[in-house]
């Protein structure tokens, strides 16, 4: 039961925070730019709590402190994602991908759609490592690192091409984003991504078995759970599973369908998109 409690907490935090952000973004999207700005400003207290929780818990490694550190990393990550999804912090390129551009230009244009967001994530990760390294409770730092590298992997897989791309929950401000995705049966990075995430899960499981500290056990269970969820999200790119139903009860059905560029399936038929957060 000791292991199940943090694992279930991680699962609930992932599911609820994702749904809450999607709901806020969808609601703000209907109110235009002022509403999107208000949503990001109203989220600043959560960012502040995340920063404070990350700092305070660095010095204690009991199970409660580890859980708070984990939740704090999620709060920091969630605010940055909110700023991205509302279109406040994205990138200089807000135009759809033109047809027939060379691959190098496609990559540069895709990078331009989220450059500021990615730089903010990198700066945050570096700051957390500079502040949190060599402290007794590094689990907030490692939680953010897992989220960061899993998200980079997911974005690269969407760029290179996967069978299932879910754009159902993308707001109007990011309507240009799916044009930079690609439908493809498989890409070279996907096996590397799932292998690396599976290996990380195995390593965290080994740490759970090896440690005798309740705080460290809780921390590694939380890292195992969030990494396994990242692995699950990767597999959802290739498996015909309607994962959007996990949040459908919170988000009304969209009226506008965003269809990615390069949306020709291996069978030659055009396939509608879903959501690629």
pLDDT score, position 252: 57
**Predicted confidence band at 167 (pLDDT cuts at 50, 70, 90)?**
confident
pLDDT score, position 169: 84
Tokens standing for 106?
A: 């496609």
What pLDDT, in 10s, does the model give residues 69-127? 999 999 999 999 999 999 999 999 999 999 999 999 999 999 999 999 999 999 999 99
| 222: DSSP letter | H
Q: Is the dihedral of CA 186, 187, 190, 195 positive or negative?
A: positive
pLDDT score, position 215: 95
Longest dimension (CA), the chain: 57
What pLDDT, in 10s, does the model give residues 249-272? 677 555 544 445 444 333 333 333
Residues 6+ apart with CB under 8 A from 13: 70, 71, 74
In the predicted model, is pLDDT for residue 177 greater than 90?
yes
Segment holding 277, helix H or strand E: none
What pLDDT, in 10s, does the model give residues 182-203? 999 999 999 999 999 999 999 9
Q: Which residues of 83-106 are buried (b: 16+ CB within 10 A; e: fewer)?
A: bbbbbbbbbebeeebeeeeeeeeb
pLDDT score, position 253: 55
What pLDDT, in 10s, does the model give residues 16-67? 999 999 999 999 998 999 999 999 999 999 999 999 999 999 999 999 999 9
DSSP string, 62-78: SHHHHHHHHHHHHHHHH
Tokens standing for 22?
A: 């999607």
| 259: DSSP letter | -
DSSP string, 8-59: HHHHHHHHHHHHHHHHHHHHHHTTHHHHHHHHHHHTHHHHHHHHHHHHHGGG
pLDDT score, position 248: 77
Q: How far apart are the first and last CA of the chain?
A: 32
Residues 6+ apart with CB under 8 A from 231: 194, 197, 198, 201
The answer to whether 70 and 222 are in contact (CB under 8 A) is yes
What pLDDT, in 10s, does the model give residues 198-236? 999 999 999 999 998 999 999 999 999 999 999 999 999
DSSP string, 149-191: HHHHHHHHHHHH-BS--EETT--GGGTTGGGG--B-S--SHHH
pLDDT score, position 10: 96
**Residue that has been written with the tokens 């009304």 in this structure:** 252
């Amino acid at each position: 039961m000791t292991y199940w409690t943090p694992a279930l907490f991680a699962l609930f935090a992932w599911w609820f925070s994702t749904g809450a952000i999607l709901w806020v973004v969808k609601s703000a999207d209907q109110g235009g730019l002022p509403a999107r700005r208000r949503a990001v400003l109203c989220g600043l207290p959560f960012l502040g709590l995340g920063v404070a929780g990350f700092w305070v818990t660095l010095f204690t490694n009991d199970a409660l402190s580890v859980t708070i550190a984990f939740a704090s990393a999620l709060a920091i990550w969630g605010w940055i994602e909110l700023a991205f999804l509302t279109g406040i912090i994205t990138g200089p390129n807000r135009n759809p991908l033109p047809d027939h551009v060379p691959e190098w230009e496609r990559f540069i244009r895709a990078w331009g759609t989220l450059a500021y967001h990615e730089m903010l994530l990198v700066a945050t990760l570096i700051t957390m490592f500079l502040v949190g390294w060599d402290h007794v409770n590094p689990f907030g730092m490692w939680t953010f690192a897992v989220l960061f590298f899993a998200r980079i992997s997911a974005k690269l897989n969407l760029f290179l091409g996967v069978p299932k791309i879910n754009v159902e929950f993308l707001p109007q401000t990011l309507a240009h984003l799916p044009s930079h995705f690609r439908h493809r049966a498989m890409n070279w990075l996907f096996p590397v991504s799932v292998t690396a995430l599976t290996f990380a899960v195995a390593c965290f499981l080994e740490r759970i078995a090896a440690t005798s500290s309740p705080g460290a056990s809780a921390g590694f269970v939380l890292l195992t759970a969030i990494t396994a969820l990242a692995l699950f999200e990767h597999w959802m790119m290739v498996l015909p599973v309607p994962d959007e139903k996990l949040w459908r009860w919170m988000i009304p059905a969209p009226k506008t369908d965003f269809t990615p560029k390069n949306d020709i399936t291996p069978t030659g038929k055009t396939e509608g998109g879903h959501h690629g957060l």
